[in-house]
Amino acid sequence: MIPDDYYLETAKHAGAPIGFTELSWPSQPLSNAPDSKYVGPTEERASFAAHLLELTADVVGAFALWSFQHDLGELGGTAFDSVSLRLNYGTPKPVLTVWGAASAH
């Protein structure tokens, strides 16, 4: 686990705005790695997003982009089939509540 001040300290040394891109967390086991530890209950995804946003709140000029709005399903390949904020037919996943609240500011 990284220290709580990791992002803030990194930003101090970067000398430029920090961006966080390609953020995601699978909501279903990856089809090519069904026993992967990198998937968990929906609450875990929301907790990840909330914690990341909390740790980066004081990083001046920071921005964060979640990878996809909607699940890509088979078209996205095995690494991206469930990493979005919504199911592919539009139903929001719990992580969208956390991410949306941060985006509203």
Per-residue pLDDT of 38-86, as tens digits, reads 666 667 788 888 998 899 888 888 788 888 888 887 777 777 778 889 9
> Residue 96: inside a domain, yes or no?
yes
Other Cβ atoms closer than 10 A to 81: 21
> Residue 15: inside a domain, yes or no?
no
What percent of the chain stands above pLDDT 90? Answer: 4
Q: Give the count of domains, the chain.
A: 1
Is the pLDDT confidence value at 32 over 80?
no
As a whole number of angstroms, the longest Cα–Cα distance in the chain is 42
> Residue 57: inside a domain, yes or no?
yes
Give the DSSP per-residue string, 35-98.
T-SS---HHHHHHHHHHHHHHHTTSTT-EEEES-SB--GGGG-TTTTT-SSB-TTSPBPHHHHH
Average pLDDT over residues 5-17: 89
> Residue 1: inside a domain, yes or no?
no
The pTM for the full model equals 0.74
**pLDDT score of 5:** 92
Question: Which residue reads 């914690």 in tokens?
Answer: 51
Domain range spanning residue 99? 31-103
